[in-house]
A and B are shown apart, each in its own frame.
Chain A
Amino acid sequence: MQNKSEQKEKGQFVEVWEDIVSLKDLSLALVLCPFITMIAYFLAPNKGSFPLFYGLGGALIGFILCSMIVKPKRKFQQDKDEKEWI
């Protein structure tokens, strides 16, 4: 119990691949993107490189959907250069 509230104070994000993510959003993205990709792959007409292209299209759609659903966890603060380069 103690441990849980302590964690909440520190924040709820973990670091994966040098940036922070929320576990819930990450699970969503990791299910959604491959799922849409494979659906698109199997929907494609079975000739030549159609399945591959559909799959890539699916991956892109998944990526865009995730980008719309999930909010990035970065916050900004503006600094200004004090000096001009000599």
Chain B
Amino acid sequence: MDIGLITQMVLAAFMGTFLYTIIGIVPGTDETAVIAPVTLALVLSGMEPIVVLTFFMAAVIAHKLTDSVPVAVAGVPGGVMATPMVEHSMVLKTHGYSDMTIRKMISGSVIGTLVSVPASLLLASLLIPLANAIKSYANPIFFIGAIVLSLLSKNRWLALVIIFPFAFLIQGLRYLYWGIGVVPEGTNVFTSFFLGITIGPVVVTLLDLLNKEKRTSLVRHESKVLRFNQTNPFKGFPNPFKILTKRELLYSSLASILGSITFIFSAVGTTVLIGELFSKREKEPVKKASLAISCMEALANATYISGTLIPLIALGIPLSSVALGPAQPLFNAPPVFTQDHNMHHILSFGEITLAIVIGIGISLFITYYLVVKYSTQITAFVFKWIPHEAILGLFVALVVLLAYMDAGWMNIAGVLLVSLVAGTLHRWGINFGIQFMILYSAPWITSLFIR
């Protein structure tokens, strides 16, 4: 390995860290929607896979650490993963402990990261012997996965009913493109459909705004008033092991190990379930809230790291909610990565470990320091200067660009259609996990009907 490559990795880690420290704080940004398109663009640009992986790990860690900052500072979640923490941090806020909330959260993040990296590497090496068996049944596994996730979801019958029609919509568009000749036959348009599903909920809301009846009946708001906490600057370099109590340290470590083992399941679901389970027995409200947020932060990091690393190292197919979501471009980004030729096949165990160490190391160190020292200033900067309209514009622009690159102008309409259906399904309680599994197994599901 040469110095040039290592330098690129370090630069990529810095880039991912700074970009996602800011994006993480922006309210409402879904991890998949913000991390996947950029990672995808880097993969498609022909950047060295090991550099992309470093960037991705740095981005994930920065985003995970900072998306809970606005929760503590202003009671607004910075991302989907931070939503379960709002309730607990409000308890601490009303008791006047916002400063400590941030420090507990971010220390929990550090613990989650430090525990889950070795745990994931270990679990991955245990899974490798089973990998071939799992890989050869990838398509039916995704199909069964869609069924299982449907059964576990809020609207299980609705989800089950929709599996075949949604698969046919995706394959239908692909056959249409082949028929007209905008893409060569056999090339599966994947990337832009994936992004279409990701921004589905936003697209449906935007289309609602074009619907006259809906628009006039929409609830109108005044400017949003955010109550900010003036935090006290921390002196010296904070030590996460001292910020957490012994019990918080033990529980968040245990939670991280559990979170790594359950890597297949939904990251948000696991975080809520295990986090609440661990803090349930504590009755004193402040202690309970503090324990809950440190465990949940640890879990959020653990589920993300294990969900990426275990499928990446052991399987080579995106068999976890995180790998199907934000980490998707590491597994599938045609024409650079396909199911039989992606990071799993290209990088060795040692290379993956190096990328993790550089990416996570740099990101954890910088973000931790920045957040503990300047959480209020960073949040105030982002909230004051970055309008939500610009964020929406940016993501719509990325989707339009990648849709055009996949299959021309026609595909912009195609992606809009996929988004509309996906967003509506999302509203009905059919989560991304189910939709991504269907996207993966669509060719296989359709092939069952070939005569």
Contact = CB atoms under 8 A, between A and B. Distances in A.
Centre residue among A3, A30, A71 by max chain B CB count within 10 A: A30
Given A66-B389, A80-B230, A72 B99 contact: no
B136 interface: no
A43 to B, nearest CB: 13
A12 B218 CA distance: 10
Nearest to B206: A16
A67 B396 CA distance: 15
A66 B218 contact: no
B209 A59 contact: no
A81 B98 contact: yes
A72 B386 contact: yes
Given A38-B404, A81-B229, A25 B389 contact: yes
B396 A13 contact: no
Interface in B214-257: 215-216, 218-232
B385 interface: yes
B230 A15 contact: no
Interface string B191-205: 000000000011001
Given A30-B206, A59-B401, A78 B228 contact: yes
A52 B393 contact: no
A7 B388 contact: no
B231 A22 contact: no
A85 to B, nearest CB: 4
Interface string A11-24: 11111111111110
B401 A62 contact: no
B225 A14 contact: no
Given A30-B392, A53-B45, A81 B99 contact: yes
B16 to A, nearest CB: 15
Nearest to A65: B390
Contacts of A11: 220-223
B28 interface: yes
A66 B219 contact: no
Contacts of A22: 389
Contacts of B97: 81, 83, 85
Contact of B384 (A26, A72, A80, A85): A72
B216 A3 contact: yes
Contacts of B100: 85
B148 interface: no
Contacts of B45: 49, 52-53
A75 B404 contact: no
A73 B388 contact: yes
B380 interface: yes
A81 B231 contact: yes
B247 to A, nearest CB: 16
Contact of A37 (B99, B215, B397): B397
A39 to B, nearest CB: 11
Interface string A26-52: 101110111011100100000011011
Contacts of A38: 400-401, 404
A75 B74 CA distance: 11
A63 B226 CA distance: 24
B149 to A, nearest CB: 24
Counting from the closest, the 10 A-B pairs by CB-CB distance are: A18-B28, A29-B393, A33-B393, A11-B222, A66-B390, A33-B397, A82-B96, A29-B389, A70-B387, A19-B388
Interface of A: 3, 7, 10-23, 25-26, 28-30, 32-34, 36-38, 41, 48-49, 51-53, 55-56, 58-60, 62-63, 66-67, 70-83, 85
Given A14-B220, A29-B392, A77-B225, 15 more contacts: A11-B221, A13-B220, A14-B221, A16-B205, A22-B389, A28-B389, A33-B396, A34-B393, A52-B44, A59-B398, A63-B397, A76-B384, A79-B227, A81-B96, A81-B232
12 contacts: A11-B223, A21-B389, A33-B394, A34-B397, A34-B400, A48-B46, A70-B389, A71-B387, A72-B385, A74-B383, A77-B227, A85-B100
